[in-house]
């Protein structure tokens, strides 16, 4: 959503006018596509990471306003709740040693942010869901003090008309209710942007959808919520349920949730924006003064403000993005499936795997989406979220054989997808040293069957075996996680368990 969203109460005419403006924006987008007004290929990628604030005790700290004031950098912004921050890295051109440069920029930025957070007894924790969060932490009083979050919360609550229900059955079963969307703030993610031309958009989006399951399998890092061990990547079900505007009756009718995987492969970016208008009522019917069609008639580039705002309230795991840079419109695929963390090396490895794999899958002569039913891709994503690195997928057979077969995630990634990712990075012009270093981290996770989620779960259970209570074990796991995160070695090298106490004397 836009950084500056300010409005009072909405009335009936606001929604009617907004719907008209959305249709005008969609027509404007169609004209831009027909007239080939979009930016030429630049191979640009961008990274955003959502972060948590926690104290030296491992517990969340509701201090993002104070921390941001101390950081005083436009690279860092608020997120939904007071224990959240977001860091944005400027776009980079894919190629050369881009991943090493990204890693260095992130190390510098996060180390500085962490030093500033420590001035108020807080620290940065880069993790999918902070294990020590309690239900009392995720209430409206802890929304960030920014108009757009309060407004969005009020509109989603009004649309639903009753309490939100969180019901996730994994290793353990969690059921609870919330009067606000704030539980969504527990989900902190890594967002990977890729600028693409309109002609390539559909292939890249389809490839990203197919790649989702493998990304989650090797990158899962969110096994705990409210003291319960749930799915290996619990963010997707939590995000879906905590933003669900549908009461049970509409769910039973098959009305689509605002957080969703999708329902079909596409042939153009236009289809996704058109689906948004057709399926999803406006949450924030705020109209801009611009007439996008008049701007186009005058030879200008329209902001398409209503379309952009509406798109920001539909939470696709691979989201289309319309933007303008230096007066020229462009399209991006925003990949939102991955959790944050565990370390900067792991984040960059996840990024390298994604950008390489998507490039290779998008350019295959027999694309995977022509051989894999969309429902199967969605089921693979669900399996990856539930089971992480131990998931099993259904995937097209290799070679001349037709049809699909069941395969475990590790074998698929190691034997088929990592070589594709390497070829994709070569096609981007990434240097072999970067390619081998960061894809090697993914390969080692497969070899050791370890990712952030499996380390968290194993360390938590080791603490329980040592006689700790569940809350103490979760806090100790979080403290140890932060310690190892700060040291920076990839998660597959982390020793399971808590360090032995140093004897006194």
Helix axes 269-279, 12-34, angle to 10 degrees: 170
Question: What CA–CA distances, in Å, run from 157 to 29, 151, 164, 434?
Answer: 31, 10, 8, 46
All residues at 6 or more sequence positions from 330 whose CB lies less than 8 Å from its CB, including other chains? 38, 39, 195, 322, 323, 324
Residue 487's pLDDT is 97
Residue 12's pLDDT is 66
Place of tokens 């499936």: 337
Give the number of other CB atoms < 10 A from CB of residue 462: 16
Show the tokens assigned to 98: 């881009």
DSSP state of 142: G
The dihedral region occupied by 32, where left means phi > 0, alpha psi between -120 and 50, and beta the remainder, is alpha
Q: Are 337 and 388 in contact (CB under 8 A)?
A: no
The torsion defined by the Cα of 485, 486, 489 and 492, in degrees rounded to 10, comes to -10
Which helix (H) or strand (E) element contains residue 308? helix 305-311
The burial class, CB within 10 Å (0-12 / 13-18 / 19+), for 504 is exposed
Q: How many CA atoms lie within 13 A of 32 on its CB side?
A: 30
Residue 148's pLDDT is 80
User: Phi/psi at 90 (nearest 5 deg)?
Assistant: -55, 150
Residue 2's pLDDT is 42
Q: How far apart are CA 482 and CA 479, in angstroms?
A: 5
Bridge-based pairing of strands 44-54 and 392-396 is unpaired
pTM value is 0.96
The string of DSSP letters for 462-478 reads HHHHTT--HHHHHHHHH
- Taking only the tens of pLDDT, the chain with its 505 residues reads 444 444 456 666 788 999 999 999 999 999 999 999 999 989 999 999 999 999 999 999 999 999 999 999 999 999 989 999 999 999 999 999 999 999 999 999 999 999 999 999 999 999 999 999 999 999 999 988 887 888 889 989 988 999 999 999 999 999 999 999 999 999 999 999 999 999 999 999 999 999 999 999 999 999 999 999 999 999 999 999 999 999 999 999 999 999 999 999 999 999 999 999 999 999 989 999 999 999 999 999 999 999 999 999 999 999 999 999 999 999 999 999 999 999 999 999 999 999 999 999 999 999 999 999 999 999 999 999 999 999 999 999 987 668 999 999 999 999 999 999 999 999 999 999 999 999 999 999 999 999 999 999 999 999 999 999 999 999 999 999 999 999 999 999 999 999 877 555 4
- Longest C-alpha distance within the chain, in Å? 81
């Amino acid at each position: 959503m836009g950084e500056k969203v300010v409005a009072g109460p909405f009335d009936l005419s606001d929604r009617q006018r907004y719907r008209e403006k959305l249709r005008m924006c969609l027509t404007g987008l169609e004209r831009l596509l027909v007239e080939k007004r979009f930016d030429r290929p630049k191979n640009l990628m961008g990274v955003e990471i959502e972060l948590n604030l926690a104290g030296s005790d491992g517990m969340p700290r509701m201090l993002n306003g104070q921390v941001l004031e101390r950081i005083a950098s436009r690279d860092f912004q608020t997120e939904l709740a007071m224990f959240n921050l977001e860091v944005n890295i400027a776009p980079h051109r894919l190629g050369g040693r881009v991943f090493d440069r990204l890693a260095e920029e992130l190390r510098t930025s996060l180390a500085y942010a962490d030093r500033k957070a420590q001035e108020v007894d807080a620290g940065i924790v880069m993790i999918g869901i902070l294990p020590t969060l309690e239900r009392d932490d995720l209430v409206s009083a802890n929304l960030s003090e920014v108009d757009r979050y309060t407004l969005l919360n009020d509109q989603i609550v009004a649309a639903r008309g009753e309490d939100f229900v969180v019901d996730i059955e994994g290793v353990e079963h969690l059921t609870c209710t919330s009067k606000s969307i704030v539980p969504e703030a527990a989900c902190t993610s890594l967002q990977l942007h890729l600028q693409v031309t309109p002609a390539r958009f559909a292939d890249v989006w389809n490839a990203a959808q197919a790649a989702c399951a493998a990304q989650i399998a090797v990158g899962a890092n969110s096994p705990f919520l409210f003291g319960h061990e749930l799915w290996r990547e619990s963010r997707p079900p939590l995000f879906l349920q905590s933003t669900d505007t549908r009461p049970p009756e509409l769910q039973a009718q098959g009305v689509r949730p605002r957080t969703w995987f999708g329902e079909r492969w596409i042939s153009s970016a236009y289809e996704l924006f058109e689906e948004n208008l057709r399926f999803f009522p406006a949450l924030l019917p705020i109209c801009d003064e611009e007439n996008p069609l008049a701007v186009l008639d005058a030879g200008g580039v329209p902001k398409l403000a209503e379309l952009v705002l509406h798109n920001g309230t539909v939470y696709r795991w691979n989201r289309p993005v319309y933007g303008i840079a230096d007066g020229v419109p462009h399209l991006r695929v925003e990949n939102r499936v991955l959790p944050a963390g565990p370390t900067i090396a792991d984040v960059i490895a996840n990024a390298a795997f994604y950008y390489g794999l998507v490039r290779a899958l998008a350019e295959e002569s027999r694309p995977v989406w022509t051989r894999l039913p969309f429902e199967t891709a969605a089921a693979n994503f669900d399996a990856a979220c539930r089971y992480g690195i131990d998931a099993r997928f259904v995937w097209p057979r290799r070679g001349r054989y037709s049809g699909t077969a069941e395969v475990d995630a590790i074998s698929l990634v190691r034997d088929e997808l990592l070589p594709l990712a390497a070829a994709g990075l070569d096609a981007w012009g990434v240097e072999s040293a970067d390619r081998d270093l960061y894809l090697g981290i993914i390969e080692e996770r497969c070899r050791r069957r370890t990712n952030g989620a499996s380390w968290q779960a194993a360390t938590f259970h080791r603490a329980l075996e040592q006689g700790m209570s569940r809350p103490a074990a979760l806090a100790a796991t979080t403290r140890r996680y932060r310690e190892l995160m700060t040291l920076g070695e990839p998660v597959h090298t982390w020793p399971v368990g808590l360090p032995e106490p140093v004897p006194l004397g």
